[in-house]
A and B are shown apart, each in its own frame.
Chain A
């Protein structure tokens, strides 16, 4: 944390206030006010809009699909993220730096490119792997697996980015001690490593979940025009809004906003413990 005595800040109350007001105004106009309006628009006619939206089978189906896809994608990414972080920090292998840089790639790839890339490989008619998979009765694109893959793609770096720095900071002394005392690899992981990176994992999972629930572009391309059973919550928001069912669009949007803000609150509550984490673990011992 910053110390209370701030060299520049303390001596200039005018600047402090100007900066404070500028920041608050900017954030209010760009983020807080528009976000608040969603709640206001949803409840303009009381609870009716929300109630009718939740009674719509399309809406409930889309919400369930989104939830299912997100949970699967986050679970896959959890295994991948934790495993990859361990490999990147604890082991040495050729191409490690390249791999670690490539894992960040999905952060800066357009969602449309993600969708296009997956369609090119997994399309049942012309895809590199899609044709073979289709012949074996597996459809990836224009089906749920494609939506899961698109979601996995966009959340891929989130857990690795959280866990790697914590693993680096923890060091491997305790793990080596455990191994030298005869603990197996699995025992060392569950009893020593995992408790140390627990909060980083939770943090990464929550971020991934928030991102999964809201993925739009990549999912839109991968779901194709097979609207209906492949429609996730974000796709439904677009369709309903464009069909002038604004009340439904607002209701589902509000649910998504509440979910993402809840994720943020969870993360904000976890964050302060993150820095002092290695010390906390030692105290418990």
Chain B
């Protein structure tokens, strides 16, 4: 790619050589304790989910995936996650652009506002959105218990991801390449398409993977907001929780396994794109 060669011109990040050593006794002990904790906390429990789901063979999956309520929940969840991720790819990039390239009063406040959805408790996020977009809100829309509310909640909680992955790349990108392109007569649109976007694309996709993974797994912000009406506004996480509450552990585990696979896929995409990004920089 032409841009790859263009961007190698910028000064590489100062990185002193660090030679990883082989483990000594105390490091091995530390690694052992760390791995034990990691296994007890994450690996064994997540395997338990897969094992629970596989206990009944493929039947558990097929019955879970032929249940119309579950299928509707999956469809809604994936649909909304895809839609909000697409919106975030545009809005997130635009927000990052404005935060890096524009200068105006109150920009630091804006920078802080971006992180609010990440730090705010999800249940409070639902309540917060309800305060404006609910029937008692000041603008007179009634989004509660509709699919619009699901969309709104996911858009809220996934907002920071693409902004925060694109922002550092934009900050490191120097404008001389753009200046050079402009001096050679390239239009703004051409510069955007041929110079700026290709550099940002890996970061946008890394953020999109995070945004999508978060979108399909959202739970807390929907509890108060969407009403969780079966077949209408019920998302996968909520369906899973109600299956579990109803004592149908295998079905809940099967659904959880499917979602784990999707999460794993998102991580692989993230890892691959980050590696590509690192190779470029």
Chain A residues packing against B (C-beta within 8 Å):
1-9, 11-12, 15-16, 19-20, 22-24, 26-27, 29-35, 37-38, 41, 76, 80, 83-84, 86-87, 89-93, 99, 101-122, 128-129, 149, 152-153, 156, 168-173, 185, 207, 210-211, 213-217, 220-221, 233-234, 237-238, 241-242, 249-250, 253, 256-257, 260-261, 263-265, 267-268, 278
Contacts and interface: CB of A to CB of B under 8 A. Distances in A.
B57 interface: no
Contacts of B201: none
Q: Is the interface of A mostly helix, strand, loop or mixed?
A: helix
Given A156-B41, A237-B124, A169 B48 contact: no
Contact of A263 (B45, B119, B170, B196): B119
B61 interface: no
A211 B23 contact: no
Contacts of A1: 171
Interface in B204-231: 210, 213-214, 216-220, 223-224
Interface in B44-66: 44-46, 48-49, 52
Contacts of B182: 7, 11
Given A32-B113, A34-B132, A128-B44, A108 B213 contact: yes
A145 B175 CA distance: 52
Nearest to B111: A268
Contacts of A120: 45, 48-49, 52, 249, 253
B104 to A, nearest CB: 6
Given A109-B259, A172-B18, A249-B127, 5 more contacts: A31-B117, A35-B120, A109-B263, A111-B219, A234-B123
B16 A173 contact: yes
Contact of B132 (A37, A104, A171): A37
Contact of B112 (A4, A76, A128, A268): A268
B112 to A, nearest CB: 5
Contacts of A171: 15-18
Between A3, A87, A108, A217, the greatest number of chain B beta carbons within 10 A of the residue's beta carbon is seen for A108
Given A19-B97, A120-B253, A260 B267 contact: no
Contacts of B217: 108-113
A156 B260 CA distance: 17
Contacts of A3: 174-175
Contacts of B214: 108
Nearest to B268: A101
